[in-house]
Structures are given as C-alpha cells and as structure tokens.
Amino acid sequence: MSARKLIVALGACALLAIVAGCGGSAPMGAADAAGQRDKGPVKIGALHPVSGSNAVDGLQMRRGAQLAVDAINAAGGIKSLGGRKVELVTGDTQGKADIGQSEAQRLISAGAVGLVGTYQSAVSTNVAVVAERNRVPFVMDVTATDTIFARGYRYVFRVQPGSKVIATAAAQYLKQVSEQSGKPVHKVAFLHEQSDFGSGAADAFDAAAQQLGIALGPNISYDAASVSDLTAQITQVKASGADVLAIAGYYRDSLLAAKAIASVKPDLSAVWGVSNGAYDQPKFVSDAGQLGDRYFNTNYHYDATNPQTTALREQYQRTFGDPMRTGAVLSYDAVQVIAQAVEKAGSTDPEKVRDAIAAGQVAPLTVGKGPIEFAGNGDNSNAAPVLMQVQGGQVKQVYPPEKAESRPEYQVTWRP
C-alpha cells in the first residue's frame, strides 16, 4: 500500500469516527443542570430509538410519553409546584448503546428531573450507568434483561415485567390452562433464539416448569440474525413427542417458526410463546393468516380490560393514525411514575424525586397485579404478564381470568 493510499484510508476512518461521534454533545456542568431544573417547565427526558431498525417502536414510545405529558398538562400541570407545566425533552438512541449514553448525559445536563426509556436492554444498561453517576432517576419502560438489577443501583427503576417474571408466569399459566381444558401438559419442547433474551427465557421457563413437574425437551436454539428455515428444528420437536412447543424469539424468526410448524404439523396441543416478539402483534395475525390462529403468548401487554387504556389507545389512533402498541403504553406509565413523584415530592431535585418514586404507587395502564410500586432493587413488584391468544384473527387476553377478554382455546388448528 502506498503512503498516499494509507493516508486516504486513515482519513476516511477519522471522518467516519467524527460522524459517528456527532450524536452526543459535550455535557454541561452540574450547576447548569440544577439551574435548568428550577425554572420553566419540569423536564422529563425520553430516550428511544427513533431512527434505525427499531424506529417504528421507538417512535411509538416517544409518542406514548408525549401523550402522558399532554395529559398531565391538560389536568393543570404539577400542582404542588404551583401548576408548573411538564415538558418532554427527547433523545434518539438510534438503538446504539454509546449514543444512548451520550444522549442521556445531554438530557440530564438540559435539566431533566428523570429519564424514561429505552426499548433495548443493551442501551438501558448504559443509560443506567449515566443515571446512577448523575443521581437522576431512570425509569425503564421496556427493558427485558434482569441483569441490570444485579448492580445494586439506587436510581434505576423498571415498569415492565422482567424476562424471568414472564417466563415463570408462562410455565404456570401453561400448567393451569392445560389442566382446565382437560389436556394436562406432559412434555414441553423449547425453541428459542440463542442470545441473552431467548436463552434467558428458556432457562427461567425450564426452572419453573421443573418445579411444576412438567417434562422438558428438547431445548433447541437458533441464530435469529441468520436463520432462514426452521423446518428441521420443528421436525426434531415432532420426533420428540412433546405436546407443547414453547417459543421465545423475535418477530422475523418467530414468523419463520410458524411457517415451519404449518408445514411439519407436529402433534402439539399448543404453541406457547414466551415473551415472544411476534405472537401478540396484530401484524403477525395479518402476516401469518390462518397459520397463526390459536397461538398463545405470555408477555407484557396494555390492559385491554381497563377503560382508561382503551380511551388512551383510541386517542393515539386518532392522533397518529396507527394502533398504539404496548411499548408506548409502558412509556406512558413510566412518565406517570416520574410526574407523580415530582408532584408528591413538591420538588425538582432529582434526589427527592428518586425517593418519591421508590415510595410511591402509580395506577398503570398496562397489565399488573396492582399499582406500580418498586421493590428494593427498583423492579416493579406488581408487574405481571398476561396470556394472549390469536383467536379468529384477533389477539385476545385470555388468562388470568380477571384480565381475560375471552376464554383460552387450548388446541391447535391442524389437530382435532
């Protein structure tokens, strides 16, 4: 390589590095941030991936957070602060951990009393570090991984049920629903994508199923990024004689699995999604059509039995011309958590807001066992997943009974 070429290549690399680094701006001093918080509207920071491959969900969530802020302002703002308005300051994580981190720093410097976000576990892990260092509360709306709570953070909270809670509930619901329908489950095969998300769900499900006396096997993993056919894996499930197939995957691969199941037709009583990224999406219903009918999924969900949630979703649909997804409802809840804490603390001091969050209770619009309240580690102790099923082209909540819109139909379409 000639010296000139080397210089050109290095120059190009430097240029790329500069472009990549443009996302964040230099943090201002802490004194500035405190000054920013005391005047003007109370600022709540929202960090979501609004560009990049998760932009659809990121935008949904930012709008959900905005609707919460609008609702608070319409009701007269923060009353304990003399009716100060609330303002949503937003950052785009682009789905990247480092950009999430610099955006979090920027929003805190701009005077945010708390942050909500971020949709992706890896990004949340980085934002949590920034929140902790700056002593500003960070309320996670969507973040599945449980490992964040192992660090003993003081300023980090989570609204959604974590991956272990969902997988454990999935096993319990399976046992209960199968027994109620007179076809008690005897052996579960688990198909999951191989990263932290899928294998974490499989491990937690296995642990819970073992305690319930359910036989397990085989446990099959695949690479969600590169898989292009799951027929062989589903044949393995068929050969194993399992009567339930549990699946933890993202959208694309879970749809592939549904296609493979429709081809192989294994002798199953149920297809059981575990925090599955496809089987409770209206999009799955239209993409899979008949193939997806009667699929179950245990996941976090907006509370379809709560009239307030219904009203919010209708408002969203009217405003943005798009059905409101669960992620956006969780963002709405997360903003409420911070706003109500500011109201209770009567202060924009992040330390006091943090204490008010830790001690507070907020009625959620997503499914829960009760009000949002946080355990010592910051996780929502009343977060609860719900069992959903595709029935006649619609996703319905079917279990537990107090949250059910319809009765579970424990059978598959291709077997009597």
Partner 1 sequence: MNNLDTAQAVVDPDTAPPARRFPVDRSFLGRAGVVAVVLVVAVVVALLRSGSGLVVWQSVVTGILTGGLYGLIAMGLTLIFGVLDIVNFAHGALLAVAMFISFGLVDTTGMHPYLTLLIATPALFLVGAIVYRGLLSGSGARSLENQLLITLGLSLLLENGLLMFFGAEPKSIKLPGEFQFSLFGAVVAGSRLYAFLGAIALGGVLFWLLRRTRLGTAIRAVAANGTGAQLVGINVRRIHMVTFAIGTACAGAAAALAGPLVTVSPTLGEQFNITAFVVVVLGGMGNVVGALVGGLLIGLVEQLTTIYLGGQSSLLGVFVVFVLVLFLRPQGLFGRKTA
- With binding defined as CB under 8 A, does residue 318 bind partner 1? no
Contact in structure between 192 and 198 (CB atoms under 8 Å): yes
> What are the φ and ψ backbone dihedral angles of 362, each rounded to 5 degrees?
-130, 130
The CB-of-122 to partner 1 minimum distance in angstroms stands at 17
Among positions 232, 311, 359, 363, the unique one binding partner 1 when judged by CB under 8 A: 232
Cis omega before residue 218 (within 30°)?
A: yes
Site string for partner 1, 235-264 (x = CB under 8 A): xx-xx-----------xx--xx--x---xx
Q: In the complex with partner 1, which residue's Cβ is closer, 56 or 375?
A: 56
Sign for the CA dihedral angle at 155, 161, 167, 168 comes to positive
The CB-of-192 to partner 1 minimum distance in angstroms stands at 9
The CB-of-94 to partner 1 minimum distance in angstroms stands at 11
- With binding defined as CB under 8 A, does residue 7 bind partner 1? no
The CB-of-415 to partner 1 minimum distance in angstroms stands at 16
Site string for partner 1, 270-299 (x = CB under 8 A): -------------x---x-x----------
The CB-of-57 to partner 1 minimum distance in angstroms stands at 8
- The neighbouring-strand residues paired with 44 are 88, 114
Sign for the CA dihedral angle at 345, 351, 356, 359 comes to negative
> What are the φ and ψ backbone dihedral angles of 265, each rounded to 5 degrees?
50, 65
Of residues 309, 349, 353, the one with CA closest to residue 332: 309
The CB-of-372 to partner 1 minimum distance in angstroms stands at 29
Of residues 327, 330, 291, 260, the one with CA closest to residue 412: 291
The CB-of-230 to partner 1 minimum distance in angstroms stands at 9
Among positions 221, 381, 382, 411, the unique one binding partner 1 when judged by CB under 8 A: 221
- With binding defined as CB under 8 A, does residue 53 bind partner 1? yes
Q: Which stretch binds partner 1 (CB under 8 A): 109-117, 202-210, 232-240, 330-338?
A: 232-240
Contact in structure between 334 and 159 (CB atoms under 8 Å): yes
Among positions 36, 54, 298, 326, the unique one binding partner 1 when judged by CB under 8 A: 54
Q: In the complex with partner 1, which residue's Cβ is closer, 164 or 192?
A: 192
Contact set with partner 1 (CB under 8 A): 1, 5, 8-9, 12, 51-56, 194, 218-223, 225-229, 231-233, 235-236, 238-239, 251-252, 255-256, 259, 263-264, 283, 287, 289
